[in-house]
Structure 1
Amino acid sequence: MAPGTRWPLAAVFDRATLETGRPVFVANAAKDPALRELAFFHDHGFQSYAGVPRSDGTVAIMSERPLALSPQDLLLLALHSRALPGEDSAVLEPASGALTRAFLLELTAAELAAGRQTGLLVLRSTRLGDVRRDKGEAVADRLLSQLCVLLRSKTRPTAPVGRLTNDALGVILVDVSLRDAQRAAERLAREVRESSRWPTAAGLAHGEGLAGGAEALADLGLQAAEESRATGARSVPTRLSTGSVPPPVEPPSAGPTADTALAARYQRLALLNRMSLELFSDKPFAAALTGACHTALALTGARSVAVYFADELGSPSLAYRHGDGAFSEETSRAEERSLADEAFAERRLVSRDAAPRHWSAAPLMRITPQAVSVTGAAVFGYDRAPSEDPERDRALVEIARILCNARLIQQTLQQQKIFAEIFEQSADALLIADREGRTQMWNRSAAELFGWSREELVGRDSRSLIPPDRKEESRKLEAELRDSGRLLGFETVRLRKDGSVVPVEIAATALRDDDGVPFGSLIAHRDITNRKELDRMKSEFMALVSHELRTPLTAIRGFAETIFDFWDEITIEQRRHYLRIILDEADRLSKLVTDFLDITRLEGGGIEWESKEILVPEFFGKIAELFKEHPSKAAVVAEVAPDAERLKGDPEQLYRLMVNLVGNALKYSVPGGTVTLGAAPDGDAVTLSVKDQGPGIAPADRERLFTKFFRAGDQVARKTPGTGLGLAICKSIVDAHGGRIWAESEPGKGAVFKARLPREGK
């Protein structure tokens, strides 16, 4: 029955006078934390009840079955009813999940008033005060909550657990004699110490002969716990109102029984399982290692633990350490490291007594069919020499095995993440295919190169990228990959999603498992479109340069031979004409060589730049004067806008820039046309421009105009001599000034080349 259920109150409470408007509550012992502590629920075997508080302070109660409750049960039920429905902070502490001190003492008083023999076991965490000071209240409350959960797991449901002080919990032992309470307290304290990494002091108070009530019983329990903390006693001190009571004398035992040995082994297995669950959870490895080491402390009874993993050189490197008190000192750390080195070297369990500390270490061994290697070590410190216990040694071996496997998995996952990141970020288009050729992985570069998204291509046949006319070539490549296991540097073409082809260079590697059996292949496609274009441009350039070099050399040689062979037969005017041709062709050859040298120096930073103020009108006047007698007979005019008369830059290089741009404009202008030099302000820059009346530039060619060796593909460009270096030199000059150069043009309407340069220089 869940809280909030409506009960037929009129039928159930027909003999009771109920005040209208009072709250009705329904309690469920399986869900409500407060009710789980009630003894009468378990004693009487029912799970839920409903009640209506009366105006006189009593509660009308019903359940799903007839009840025979004692007055004491009714008193306990009345106490608990204050917490129902919902969570009452006067009963339960939300932070720790324990009953409040006030409510725990009310329950104790009720038990004492009923005449039951009642004990109060007090467990006090001796380190909780330091944690509260160093880590804060929230961390301390969380640790106390863990201790509360641990106590509930070790006690009967009829034993309520509550908070007595900031660092002490109390457990009510109901209806037990003094000796039974002592035995129960010894067992419970021992199990808590074995299962918790925090030092815990325990003390017992019993109500036998008590006259002072629940507060007096709590004070006795706290005094007994303080005695345990101060003396470090392993047994649980017991206090009555009349004084201390010695621990019970147990009959001699011939040794652990089969049942106790089995229980101890089960407990160790449970802790090892908890350790495994912690390490192989979704937590970050560092956090999981911390939790696992705390469980290892509970499992071994040690006071400190340190885990070392082998670094890249195979030496121990500290991954985690926790030590209490003396185990955090420098001397202890040196002893701990020495034992870790010994475990690495000996490859076996090692121990050492260095009173008052005692040490044990287990190497983390990875055993494969090929080799045995040490991947780390776990070192435990004890405040007393541990007894000879084969089960403890086996537990150390299991702890080492679990840590070794966890480390191996962590490294494997880390390597997988690294591979995945490298795979995804690679500039080459990568795909992984299985043995049947189905695509298993497909990186971002592949999606960009081929146009297929990862979702579209994964699971499809990777051969769909192969053009039909390349199928035979592909079969040969697959055969070579099967035979040699790798394929390097093969140039071919592949299909894009839109049906176009892209030139690629392929490298492939066969993927094999640990037994050497191939299960797939990794194929890298490198886009070589730019390389192919560069090769084409180089070929064209070589043909162009051969022509450009051969033409002046041929003219120079031809006319020089003519003058030499026919000196006496040719007139003076003919000699002057031939010599002028030789000089012109020599100038042409010199300019060609200069262009090659300049582009190399500009790109390599071999030119020293200087910044001077340039008067733009005078600067344009020099350019116009230079081309005044140009064969094209075109006019060169200048238009300088206000606020664009001055700028800073390298005069020599900017002169070279404008000479190249004007020379190109004149080369393509119609005879008798006009080339306009312009200067206009543009914020903190000045834009220089050269406008011609030539045939214009096609849109497809404008993007590549400033690439080395590029020549436009139209008829006019092909008929006009040039190397394709002039505009590349212009771009290098503008870039060096921190500016930008571009062209604006439409076919048939001329072109405007613009260079935006910082007014105050770079």
Structure 2
Amino acid sequence: MGVMSDNRVENADDGFARAVLASSPNAVVALDRDLSVLVWNPAAERLFGWTCDDMIGRRAPLVPEELVVEHNAVLERVRTGGPVSLRTKRLRSDGSLVDVGVDMSALRSEAGALLGYVSVYHSLENDSAARDRGARRARLVRRLTDVVGDINAELELSPVLDRIAGSLTELTGADAGGFVLIEDDRLRLVSTHGLPDRLWGATADLHTSLVGKLLRTGKTVLLETGDQTVLDDLIWSELPGLHTIALGVAAVGGRPYGALYALFAERKAGHIELELLELLAGHAGIALANAMAYQDAVRQRAHERAVVDASADGIAVLDGMGFVRQWNPAAEELTGVRADEVIGARPPFPLPAPGEKLTTQLPCGRWLDVVSAEINETAEIVVDFRDVTRAKELEEAKDLFLATTSHELRTPITVVQGFASTLDARWDKLSDVERRSAVRTIAERAQALGQLMDHLLLGARAGAEELKVQVESFDLGERVRAATLGMPVLSDRHRVEVDIPRDLPLVDGDALATDILLGQLLENAFKYSPDGGLIRVLAWAESDHVVLVVDDEGVGIAPDDRERVFERFVQADSGDRRRFGGVGLGLYIARSLARAQGGEVTAHSRPGGGTRMRFILGIAPAYIGSDTPNR
């Protein structure tokens, strides 16, 4: 016998397949992935009344409207699992219904890709028992449709699980039911119906359970009947008389998520119950996926809201028209505008173009850096703004500091340069007195330059927290007397009084740092009382520290400036630099030196006008608890 060519073999195979389909007593219908008819054999023509030419390439109108939900669930089961067999009703071409049994399976390529579906139908009209079962099944399927709608109406995960467990016993006639989650290699009971509440949360090993057995079969449902020793030990002992367990796998995203248990003790379970369980499990997977997606969305929204509310930056969300829809707590604090005042209105500051930054000032004087970005999907605008007032003030202060420092340096340098040039050009023509006077002036101006450099260096070290002090016991009264010695003759407009008790206790601190600090306080007292008056220095012991005050009768300090004067590059009033000179570092250095040795310097208004600077240092340990003078 000769060997046939490949084409002849293929033609023979095609002819054989057509002969099989034509001879089959059962209706064979093959659909592509879009549910259009690919195969419609003669038995299908006889059963449903449509010819092959009527059906090929179009959707077959076989499924009654009330069974569409069931049909979709079966297709999903076939696509993700294995073959499904069921009894149902289908439409004929004359509009009548026919009871049929159908075996449905997936049509796949050699590589396993889904090509469509194959259904094999046979009529059940002559089987009265089948008709009764079909009628009962039809009622249950209609009820299933209602149950599915009820389950899908709930979006919270826990209520969805409870409704699934309750619907399970209603549809299958089971005596009890439950839903278990698959958590790695464990099962956890998360919903029950007809079982004791104490079982909620109980766990079991996945591999030794009926769920594990079902997963190993590759099927989606399992009916287990036998003695109690072979039934799932997670729940069997809590239902006396348990003889049958039906369970179905609920998949989410194509992967097993959990399983439904139907427990039978008084009633019997059969194919209809197993079929309904399978259908319910399919719908349960869809409902669970929806609930989980909703939960994720709620969780994500809550997370985003928590981040926004906890942000130190002001954050606003505007709609496409530019009206505020969200206004976080930091936005209220930064602008002073409450959320209920701005929601539905425009923000109380101008907006930059998306991707750009705008620095703007609020009516209250606060400066903000504002940026914005557009959400393309929603046309909303997210606005982020932060307080840069401090940075703005520091920037302005630094600019003023540079200008002032330049002025402070230029004056003595100009004098030094002038007198040095005069000495160089006219040395022989000047008298000895004139030359000595010029050199003295140069020395004085050089000393002033040195003091200015010392202030700048101390200010830089204090800003970098690099001030070094050596704490030890010393006599503060002695330091005050030395610092004020000779001061009464420095100015004919000022009087200096020093009131320091002889038995003032020793203090703990750095003597050199205190000398610099006292010099700055006294210098300020002279500088800021240009019209003269009394400068008084007092000290006394108080509790565990010594208090020293320097009073003057000068221009005073406004209440709002009592803290600002201790900041770098700040003087009490913007005009003070022009009036009194200096770079605004003196009191900043004084407070930094005080704190470095455990003390403090504060500014106060003096009764009757002027300023009181208050300096405290801790009493040396040897003096604490002894009788010390109080003031």
Mapped partners of 1:337, 1:678: distance in 2: 89
Mapped partners of 2:476, 2:494: distance in 1: 21
Cα 1:698/1:387, change in 2 over 3 Å: same
Match of 1:262 among 126, 131, 138: 138
**Structure with the larger RCO, 1 or 2 (CA within 8 Å, 6+ apart):** 2
Cα 1:572/1:351, change in 2 over 3 Å: farther
Q: In the TM superposition, what is the alpha-carbon distance from 1:644 to its structure 2 partner?
A: 5.5
Mapped partners of 1:716, 1:699: distance in 2: 16
Is 2:299 the counterpart of 1:420? no
Match of 1:488 in 2: 356
Structure 1 residues 351-373: Cα deviation after superposition (integer angstroms, max 9, x where no partner): 899998799755422xxxxxxxx
Match of 2:342 in 1: 457
Match of 1:198 in 2: none
Match of 1:678 among 517, 538, 543: 538
Is 2:529 the counterpart of 1:669? yes
Match of 1:529 among 389, 393, 402: 389
Contact 1:737–1:758 (CA under 8 A) maintained in structure 2: no
Cα 1:332/1:266, change in 2 over 3 Å: farther
Q: In the TM superposition, what is the alpha-carbon distance from 1:257 to its structure 2 partner?
A: 0.8
Match of 1:509 in 2: 373
Match of 2:155 in 1: 280
Contact 1:632–1:669 (CA under 8 A) maintained in structure 2: no
Contact 2:539–2:546 (CA under 8 A) maintained in structure 1: yes
Q: How does 1:355-434 map to 2 (within 5 A)?
A: 361-365=249-253, 377-380=256-259, 389=274, 391-434=276-319
Cα 1:254/1:681, change in 2 over 3 Å: same
Q: In the TM superposition, what is the alpha-carbon distance from 1:387 to its structure 2 partner?
A: 7.5
Mapped partners of 2:212, 2:411: distance in 1: 82
TM-score between the two structures when normalised by the length of structure 2: 0.60
Cα 1:752/1:356, change in 2 over 3 Å: same
Is 2:306 the counterpart of 1:306? no
Mapped partners of 1:732, 1:294: distance in 2: 72
Cα 1:751/1:403, change in 2 over 3 Å: same
Cα 1:735/1:362, change in 2 over 3 Å: farther
Match of 1:559 among 391, 414, 419: 419
Mapped partners of 2:339, 2:187: distance in 1: 39
Q: In the TM superposition, what is the alpha-carbon distance from 1:733 to its structure 2 partner?
A: 2.7
Contact 1:424–1:444 (CA under 8 A) maintained in structure 2: yes
Match of 2:578 in 1: 718
Q: In the TM superposition, what is the alpha-carbon distance from 1:261 to its structure 2 partner?
A: 1.6
Partner AA of 1:553 in structure 2:
I
Mapped partners of 2:161, 2:474: distance in 1: 71
Q: In the TM superposition, what is the alpha-carbon distance from 1:659 to its structure 2 partner?
A: 1.8
Contact 2:252–2:288 (CA under 8 A) maintained in structure 1: yes
Q: In the TM superposition, what is the alpha-carbon distance from 1:408 to its structure 2 partner?
A: 1.8
Q: In the TM superposition, what is the alpha-carbon distance from 1:289 to its structure 2 partner?
A: 7.5
Cα 1:407/1:591, change in 2 over 3 Å: farther
Is 2:615 the counterpart of 1:751? no
Is 2:515 the counterpart of 1:639? no
Mapped partners of 1:432, 1:328: distance in 2: 45
Match of 1:443 in 2: 328
Q: In the TM superposition, what is the alpha-carbon distance from 1:447 to its structure 2 partner?
A: 3.2
Structure 1 residues 152-209: Cα deviation after superposition (integer angstroms, max 9, x where no partner): xxxxxxxxxxxxxxxxxxxxxxxxxxxxxxxxxxxxxxxxxxxxxxxxxxxxxxxxxx
Cα 1:673/1:337, change in 2 over 3 Å: farther
Secondary structure of 1:257 counterpart = helix
Secondary structure of 2:409 counterpart = helix
Structure 1 residues 525-572: Cα deviation after superposition (integer angstroms, max 9, x where no partner): 434433332232222111101112222333333333444444444444
Mapped partners of 1:750, 1:440: distance in 2: 52
Mapped partners of 1:690, 1:563: distance in 2: 42
Q: In the TM superposition, what is the alpha-carbon distance from 1:260 to its structure 2 partner?
A: 2.7
Secondary structure of 2:582 counterpart = coil
Contact 2:182–2:206 (CA under 8 A) maintained in structure 1: no
Secondary structure of 1:406 counterpart = helix
Q: In the TM superposition, what is the alpha-carbon distance from 1:427 to its structure 2 partner?
A: 3.4
Task: Return 724-733 or 529-538, whichever deviates more.
Answer: 529-538
Mapped partners of 1:738, 1:269: distance in 2: 80
Q: In the TM superposition, what is the alpha-carbon distance from 1:721 to its structure 2 partner?
A: 1.9
Cα 1:269/1:740, change in 2 over 3 Å: farther
Q: In the TM superposition, what is the alpha-carbon distance from 1:710 to its structure 2 partner?
A: 0.9
Structure 1 residues 30-80: Cα deviation after superposition (integer angstroms, max 9, x where no partner): xxxxxxxxxxxxxxxxxxxxxxxxxxxxxxxxxxxxxxxxxxxxxxxxxxx
Mapped partners of 1:690, 1:317: distance in 2: 79
Partner AA of 2:356 in structure 1:
L
Q: In the TM superposition, what is the alpha-carbon distance from 1:609 to its structure 2 partner?
A: 3.6
Contact 2:308–2:328 (CA under 8 A) maintained in structure 1: yes
Is 2:459 the counterpart of 1:599? yes
Secondary structure of 1:749 counterpart = coil
Match of 1:707 in 2: 567
Contact 1:632–1:666 (CA under 8 A) maintained in structure 2: no
Structure 1 residues 565-594: Cα deviation after superposition (integer angstroms, max 9, x where no partner): 444444444443333333333332222222
Match of 1:612 in 2: 472
Q: In the TM superposition, what is the alpha-carbon distance from 1:723 to its structure 2 partner?
A: 0.7
Mapped partners of 2:177, 2:357: distance in 1: 60
Partner AA of 1:658 in structure 2:
L
Secondary structure of 2:485 counterpart = helix
Secondary structure of 1:665 counterpart = helix
Q: In the TM superposition, what is the alpha-carbon distance from 1:623 to its structure 2 partner?
A: 1.9
Question: Identity of paired residues, percent?
Answer: 24
Partner AA of 2:323 in structure 1:
R
Structure 1 residues 381-427: Cα deviation after superposition (integer angstroms, max 9, x where no partner): 87999979554443333222222222222222222223333333433
Secondary structure of 2:312 counterpart = coil
Contact 2:368–2:387 (CA under 8 A) maintained in structure 1: yes
Cα 1:319/1:540, change in 2 over 3 Å: farther
Match of 1:60 in 2: none
Mapped partners of 1:717, 1:682: distance in 2: 36
Structure 1 residues 262-290: Cα deviation after superposition (integer angstroms, max 9, x where no partner): 3544565566566556x635xxx6x6577
Contact 2:467–2:596 (CA under 8 A) maintained in structure 1: no
Q: How does 1:102-181 map to 2 (within 5 A)?
A: none
Match of 2:591 in 1: 731
Partner AA of 2:605 in structure 1:
S
Is 2:400 the counterpart of 1:540? yes
Partner AA of 1:689 in structure 2:
V
Contact 2:248–2:278 (CA under 8 A) maintained in structure 1: no
Secondary structure of 1:607 counterpart = coil
Partner AA of 2:180 in structure 1:
V
Structure 1 residues 15-34: Cα deviation after superposition (integer angstroms, max 9, x where no partner): xxxxxxxxxxxxxxxxxxxx
Mapped partners of 1:636, 1:579: distance in 2: 31
Partner AA of 1:407 in structure 2:
M
Secondary structure of 1:547 counterpart = helix
Structure 1 residues 480-507: Cα deviation after superposition (integer angstroms, max 9, x where no partner): x4xxxx142112345x5xxx66543321
